[in-house]
Homo-oligomer: A and B are copies of this chain.
Amino acid sequence: MTPNLHDAPIGVFDSGLGGLTVAREIMRNLPAERIVYFGDTARVPYGSKSKNIIVRYSRQIVRFLKTQEIKAIVIACNTATALAFDEVANEAGMPVIGVVEPGARVAVQTTRNKNVGVIATRATIHTGAYTNAICSLDPEINVIEQACPMLVPLVEEGWIHDRITDEIIMRYLDDLLAHGIDTLILGCTHYPLLRSAIRKLVGDQVALINPAYETARELERLLSAEHLESTVPIAPGEPYPYRFYVSDDPQKFTDFANSILPVDVKNAKIIPIEEF
């Protein structure tokens, strides 16, 4: 390994904006790491699409990220992790982590009554990926999954603190709460943006698991285990320690990034992703 590789960026990708919540946790918790982020804004969302399509799109993104001399890949999208993790790992030829395993592991450590709820997109729920990941760690845990297709559009509409959003969240959570869950995995990268609304509705007795945060911690362990940690902290004024690429007009992406990231995102470049 060249010393250079330690200071190479982490490739992070998502179907669009949601994965920025994962990038945010990496920035906060691994401040020496550089990032190349790709958001597939031309083909968003993935959550209602099939495995074949999600695998094809994810592999194209990995091929693009590999042109950026990255040292590891974070699949910052629950749907792509649930449906395409193995194919991404095969294509990547470098360390890859997704958001499902880290979220599942913390849920297993957190639950006391062994009733865990999962909310996610329809595609993620359809795979049963969270149930599989949790039960392989503790087969006694009862996992109740719920697809919540309206939550991403609500976040993208900006109705974060809104009576209608509260009502829709309650409709989705009713059944999970009736099952007595004490732990709830926010299994889509948009959902942490609804965290305070969800907290208000479920009360203090239900632990909310944000896989974005857990994924950043998992990335830290992985880089350490593989001796890939950054050796050169990001210097003030270093050009582009965080680079952003998208597949459609970057304006909405840049606005959203600037509203949630601790850094100023000046521009994002458009990539013709279907050519990769």
Q: Write the residues of chain A forming the contact surface with B, with a CB cutoff of 8 angstroms.
A: 41-44, 48-50, 52-53, 149-150, 153-154, 156-157, 164, 167-168, 171, 247-249, 252, 274
Residue of B nearest to A247 (CB): B53
Report if A249-B156 is in contact (Cβ < 8 Å); known contacts: A43-B43, A164-B171, A171-B164. Answer: no
A251 shortest CB reach to chain B, Å:
8
Name the B residues within 8 Å of A150 (CB-CB).
Answer: 150, 153-154, 157
Number of copies of chain A assembled together: 2
Contact B153 A50 (CB under 8 A): no
Q: Which of B50, B156, B274 contacts A149 (CB 8 A)?
A: B156
A-B contact pairs, 21 of them (CB 8 A): A42-B43, A42-B53, A43-B43, A44-B48, A48-B252, A49-B248, A49-B249, A50-B248, A52-B248, A52-B249, A53-B247, A53-B248, A53-B249, A149-B153, A149-B156, A149-B157, A150-B154, A150-B157, A153-B153, A164-B167, A274-B274
Q: How far is the CA of A48 from the CA of B42 in the complex (A)?
A: 9
Residue of B nearest to A43 (CB): B43
Name the B residues within 8 Å of A157 (CB-CB).
Answer: 149-150
Most buried by B among A153, A157, A248, A274: A153
